[in-house]
Chain A
Amino acid sequence: MVQKQKITRRELLKSSALSAGALVLSGAAVPLAEARGSDTIRVGVVGCGGRGSGAANDCFKSSPGVKIVALADTFEDRLNGLKKQFEVPDRRCFIGLDAYKKVMALDDVNLVILATPPGFRPVHLEEAIKQGKNVFMEKPVAVCPAGVKKVIEASAEADRKGLAIVAGTQRRHQAKYVETMKRIHDGAIGDIVSAQCYWNMGELWVSQRKPNQGDVEWQIRNWLYFTWLSGDHICEQHVHNIDVINWAIDALPEQVHGLGGRQYRTGPEHGNIFDHFGVEFFYPGDVRTISTCRQIKGTANRVSERVVGTKGVSDCAGTIQGENSWRYRGPNPNPYEVEHTDLIASIRSGEPLNEGKRIAESTLCAIMGRESAYSRQQFNRSWFMSRCTLDLLPPDDLQLSDSKPVPAFAVPGKYQLPGFVPRQRRRG
């Protein structure tokens, strides 16, 4: 079945020439053009764990004419679920740390879902764009400034090639958020003067180390707990809420000052991440926002946002209180599917969405919060992007058998933020 529907390169070129002449001029429109009209969206999934499987299913359900045609994962056991469900033949299933390259080298794949641990995302995105694939990628999209830069560059390249990128920040595609933001941007709450956002919850899963598991294998299987893979939970999870505040204020914070610690999750299985953060972001015009996130068992849940304006207050998610009180009462379709519907519609219409830069910037904010909390220093975003030398990108030749000791968790006051030189006090 898969074989039958495979579009050959020649056919592709022909159809591009006929239906998308303008794009062909760019010399890179082949995969996009192929997906136009009623053409099949042929999806390669890179990272077939929980989120990758979820995203593949959401994508499949979101629009007609979607096929899951190739899979990649570091581990065979993580890939088998999707393989079975979508009857993907062996030869289109790739295992290992370089499996992503093999999926992206397949000509017929015109959309890739990137859902590996975030540490790999910049490298995977770069390769996907290089190979001319449209992209759905999970958030966050990087764990360090070096990765953020890579994602921004790849996103610009996607623009040049006419490729679509949508990120898994589903609130951006959720009706009640979208409608609320329209009103906020139209001035329903006046000028925004402050904001709060939260992801405070219990705890997530842990993958205990098994005998004979090497450093790299165990860390990838237990990726939430290692900064080089997840970016810490402020990045991995709380980026959603930070992104909403960026959206509401329609700007990025200029400065950050964070707190945080590792008080409850202290075992070796918890790697080197913190379990709570409290971060203040300074937006243009001295608009100060507080973001808190926490993963500690037995504590109160709160996952939400709140923006305060001169004329009212909003939860960003369907409610405005104040001079222009309003409540969203429309439909609220599953945003995890809508994000794929929007992505695919944009590809088919020839007006590809590109959320790459935007999600890279929100990811950057989360990373800034983390590094400020680790170091307890206050710094500017411009400094962080231009001078901070933190680079946690995995080496190109990373092997599962590599020795990779877990770095010590950050101790504020002692942690050295790469490139940061504390201001010297003048003496005398």
Chain B
Amino acid sequence: MTASKKDKGISKKKVAAATGAVAVVGSVSHVAHARGSGKIKIGLLGCGGRGNGALRQCLQADPGVEVIALADLFESQVRKTRDRISRDSKFEDQVKIDDDHLFWGFDCHEKLVRCEADLLLMATAPAFRGRQMMAAVNAGKHIFTEKPVATDVAGCREVMKASKIAEQKGLAIVCGTQRRHEFNRVELMKRIHDGQMGELVGGQCYWYGSGMSKPGRPYLRLDRTRSGDYRLS
């Protein structure tokens, strides 16, 4: 609910700027912390493939974005991510990660929310999302979170609670369901909602693909308790 309400509030111009991450930047009215300085400091939680992708996309979305902190369950992932992003000439002026802003371990999110980041990008395994979002909104952080946001009902409740707190505090939450920010779909949906197809009487949706498990790294996607099964991940 919260998410869709926010999505609708995004101006067309800002949606035009880039993918999901930029929408947060766009919703300037909610960016309490970033007001004044014009800079948005971000911290990345979850330094795997999707986290690294989201980090680059967020940095690309606006030159006023700076990454200042990284967190992951594993130290090696955190260091690898800083090395890589630091070497990328595209983001020369946007990477400002000090040694004491690298966090790892199961409590890495607790350390991360205590730093001065305005916005956290969340891309850990979905099962951890609820408690991480709660910690983030309690600390007054804006959130970009990957989907899905939970693997069970308790997790969904936690996310709904966090969204409510975010609303009260004027914090933004955007979720990585990028179809909501795709031009063609946004324009199409407007027309569907305006009744151009009449009453909807049915619909179908599909995600048929080949396998995606990586040998040696089955811990996430093949573990339903952490991924929510592939249908969600």
Where the two chains meet, the residues of A that have a C-beta atom closer than 8 Å to any C-beta of B are: 193-194, 257, 280, 288, 290, 308-310, 313, 376, 413
- Please, what's the 1-or-0 string for B173-187, where 1 marks a CB less than 8 Å from any CB in chain A? 000000000000000
* Chain B nearest Cβ from A406, distance in angstroms: 27
Q: Are B204 and A288 in contact (CB under 8 A)?
A: yes
Name the A residues within 8 Å of B204 (CB-CB): 280, 288, 290
B153 on the A face (CB < 8 A): no
Where the two chains meet, the residues of B that have a C-beta atom closer than 8 Å to any C-beta of A are: 201-202, 204, 208, 210-211
Name the A residues within 8 Å of B201 (CB-CB): 193-194, 308-310, 313
| Cα(A246)–Cα(B108), bound, Å | 58
Nearest A residue to B199, CB-CB: A310
SS class, residues of chain A in contact with chain B: strand
Name the B residues within 8 Å of A257 (CB-CB): 208
Nearest B residue to A322, CB-CB: B201
Nearest A residue to B204, CB-CB: A288
A-B contact count (CB 8 A): 16
* Chain A nearest Cβ from B126, distance in angstroms: 23
Within 8 Å by CB of B202, from A194, A280, A376, lies: A194
16 A-B contact pairs sorted by A residue (CB < 8 Å) = A193-B201, A193-B202, A194-B201, A194-B202, A257-B208, A280-B204, A288-B204, A290-B204, A308-B201, A308-B202, A309-B201, A310-B201, A313-B201, A376-B208, A413-B210, A413-B211
Nearest A residue to B210, CB-CB: A413
Name the B residues within 8 Å of A376 (CB-CB): 208
| Cα(A313)–Cα(B199), bound, Å | 13
Name the B residues within 8 Å of A413 (CB-CB): 210-211
Nearest 10 Cβ contacts at the A-B interface = A194-B202, A308-B201, A308-B202, A288-B204, A193-B201, A193-B202, A194-B201, A280-B204, A290-B204, A310-B201
* Chain A nearest Cβ from B231, distance in angstroms: 12
Nearest B residue to A190, CB-CB: B201
Name the B residues within 8 Å of A313 (CB-CB): 201
- The interface centre, meaning the residue of B201, B204, B208 with most chain A CB atoms within 10 A of its CB, is B201
Nearest B residue to A280, CB-CB: B204
| Cα(A141)–Cα(B62), bound, Å | 65
Name the B residues within 8 Å of A194 (CB-CB): 201-202
| Cα(A413)–Cα(B201), bound, Å | 33
* Chain A nearest Cβ from B117, distance in angstroms: 43
* Chain B nearest Cβ from A241, distance in angstroms: 17
Name the A residues within 8 Å of B202 (CB-CB): 193-194, 308
Name the A residues within 8 Å of B211 (CB-CB): 413
Given contacts A290-B204, A313-B201, 7 further A-B contacts (CB under 8 A): A193-B201, A193-B202, A280-B204, A308-B201, A308-B202, A309-B201, A310-B201
| Cα(A288)–Cα(B202), bound, Å | 10
Name the B residues within 8 Å of A290 (CB-CB): 204
* Chain A nearest Cβ from B93, distance in angstroms: 40
* Chain A nearest Cβ from B58, distance in angstroms: 33
| Cα(A313)–Cα(B202), bound, Å | 11
Name the A residues within 8 Å of B208 (CB-CB): 257, 376
| Cα(A310)–Cα(B204), bound, Å | 17
* Chain B nearest Cβ from A373, distance in angstroms: 12
| Cα(A133)–Cα(B229), bound, Å | 55
Nearest B residue to A290, CB-CB: B204
* Chain A nearest Cβ from B196, distance in angstroms: 15
| Cα(A170)–Cα(B104), bound, Å | 66
Nearest A residue to B202, CB-CB: A194
| Cα(A193)–Cα(B208), bound, Å | 23
| Cα(A308)–Cα(B203), bound, Å | 11
Nearest B residue to A194, CB-CB: B202
Nearest B residue to A309, CB-CB: B201
Name the A residues within 8 Å of B210 (CB-CB): 413
Nearest B residue to A257, CB-CB: B208
| Cα(A158)–Cα(B132), bound, Å | 71
| Cα(A376)–Cα(B210), bound, Å | 10
* Chain B nearest Cβ from A248, distance in angstroms: 14
